[in-house]
């Protein structure tokens, strides 16, 4: 697989591209090119996120030529994963706090596109994330054909508050693996503290 040309990062639904964890990832990966991208609703000054088709189209419109790593936090990461499932030739996916289901509604899984995700995927979440437990997420990601790496930050919820340095370290190490070290085995897991 070709080395990543850069990383394209998107925020969660209630945040912006200036989120501290996205800025920390950019700094950790320098000099690899990084684009921190706000969705159209945020650029237009609206608070409510657009529906998935519009948000995915926004990603596909703004991401550079094929070969970049796509990803982001929660809603943003999910939209990037859907863009890859729709055909964007990404070098990989970085999915921070993937919102597997709405809190308290584990039957409403957001996984229809998982079988179309053929690129390496990093899932980074807290062990107390109310949008998907470690067991739920690991079970769901078994449907992904690409290599999947799970990293859990012990004791953290969906916000991953005060874990920006750890997030940046994990993403930087994983992207470095894409850029030239040995390929990671499917289902590689590590645990770390925030």
For the chain of 194 residues, list the mean pLDDT of each consecutive stretch of 10: 90 96 97 97 95 97 96 98 97 98 96 97 98 97 97 97 97 91 40 40
Token digits of residue 165: 């340095």
Q: How far, in whole angstroms, is CA 36 from its chain's centroid?
A: 13
Query: What pLDDT, on the 0 to 100 scale, is given for residue 189?
Result: 39
Query: What pLDDT, on the 0 to 100 scale, is given for residue 131?
Result: 98
Query: What pLDDT, on the 0 to 100 scale, is given for residue 140?
Result: 98
Quick count: other Cβ atoms within 10 Å of Cβ 163? 23
Query: What pLDDT, on the 0 to 100 scale, is given for residue 184?
Result: 39
The one-character DSSP state at 182 is: P
Residue closest to 70 by CA, chosen among 107, 136, 23, 121? 121
pTM of structure: 0.91
Query: What pLDDT, on the 0 to 100 scale, is given for residue 180?
Result: 72
Superfamily of domain 7-193 in the CATH hierarchy: Alpha/Beta hydrolase fold, catalytic domain (3.40.50.1820)
Token digits of residue 84: 């890859």
Q: Give the CA distances from residue 44 to residues 22, 38, 139, 152, in Å, rounded to whole numbers and listed in that order.
A: 21, 10, 37, 34
């Amino acid at each position: 697989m070709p080395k990543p040309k850069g990383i394209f990062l998107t925020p969660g639904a209630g945040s912006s591209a200036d989120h501290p964890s996205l800025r920390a990832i950019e700094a950790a990966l320098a000099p690899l090119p990084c684009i921190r991208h706000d969705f159209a609703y945020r650029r237009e000054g609206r608070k409510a996120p657009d529906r998935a088709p519009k948000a995915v189209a926004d990603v596909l419109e703004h991401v550079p030529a094929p070969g970049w790593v796509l990803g982001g936090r929660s809603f943003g990461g999910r939209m990037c994963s859907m863009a890859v499932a729709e055909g964007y030739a990404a070098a990989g996916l970085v999915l921070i706090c993937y919102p597997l289901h709405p809190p308290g509604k584990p039957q409403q899984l957001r996984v229809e596109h998982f079988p179309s995700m053929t690129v390496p995927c990093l899932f980074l979440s807290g062990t107390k994330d109310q949008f998907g437990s470690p067991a739920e997420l690991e079970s769901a990601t078994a449907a992904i054909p690409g290599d999947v790496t799970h990293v859990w930050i012990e004791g953290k919820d969906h916000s991953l508050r005060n874990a920006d340095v750890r997030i940046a370290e994990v993403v930087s190490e994983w992207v470095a693996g894409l850029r030239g070290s040995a390929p990671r085995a499917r289902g590689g897991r590590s645990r770390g503290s925030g």
